Amino acid sequence: MPIRPENRHRYPADWPAISLRIRTERAAGRCECHGECGRGTHTGRCPNRQGQPAYGTGSRVVLTVAHLDHQPENCDDTNLRAMCNGCHLHYDRDHHRQTAAATRRAALAAAGHQPLFGLADIITTPCARCGAQATTRAHCRPDLLVNPDPAAPAGADSAPFCAPCADWVVSAWRGTNHAPCGRDRATWAAWTTPLPDHGTA
């Protein structure tokens, strides 16, 4: 996976050599995922090989190296796994959600927006759908954003959700109620409000 510029300093100077050794010598050009990615699309070791068509999609496989603990500083061989781009993206999906939420929170804070909840509130706020730790406040009734109801109490159009459930709620609402706009970044930003960082990264 491409290294984001802001994370480049977290990788050792010899990272290219480490990555090449894991991908070519240890993995012999084949994805080392044995299902830890959670895709559920292969049993045993993933059959994808560098530069070959990926099973199921036919797209060209790019072999990458995943840090199992998501810490680029930890380059011990036991923490590294050669993964095809599909397995790597799926393995990192929750980590990507968390870092994206942190980026949104930072952008909102930089723009002067105040969080909807205080620290004490979010620590004890469960997801309205699954009960997990809430990280986002999603609009259950996005129609109220388009046609506000002045009689509705503040917050009546939204509830706290974890990131996966917030995604589900927004998608489900669009699927059953014919939302007035497409689900793009602007729509997601309008329908969700990240909650403050509560130190559980």
Q: For the chain of 201 residues, list the mean pLDDT of each consecutive stretch of 10.
A: 76 93 97 90 92 91 93 93 92 77 72 54 63 71 50 59 72 51 48 48 35
Residue 114: what residue type?
Q
What's residue 140's pLDDT? 59
pTM of the complete model beyond 0.75 = no
Tell how far CA 63 is from the center of its chain: 20
CA 123 from centre of chain: 21
Domain identity same for 46 and 81: yes
SS3 194: strand
Q: What's the longest Cα–Cα distance across the chain? A: 66
Distance CA 70, CA 15 (A): 15
On whether both 18 and 60 belong to a single domain, the answer is yes
Q: Spell out where the chain has E strands.
A: 63-67, 80-84, 136-139, 158-161, 192-194
Domain, as residue range, for 74: 5-91
Inside any domain, residue 96: no
pLDDT score, position 184:
46
Neighbours of 142 (CB within 10 A): 21
Hey, is 6 helix, strand or coil? helix
Q: Quick one: 44 and 120 in the same domain? A: no
Please indicate, yes or no, whether residues 11 and 86 belong to a single structural domain of this protein: yes
Which of the listed residues 40, 61, 91 is the one where a domain comes to its end? Answer: 91
Residues 79, 122, single domain; the answer is no
From CA 66, how far away is CA 61, in angstroms rounded?
15
- Is 108 a member of any domain? no
Domain count along the chain: 2
77 and 142 housed in the same domain: no
124 and 163 fall within a common domain? yes
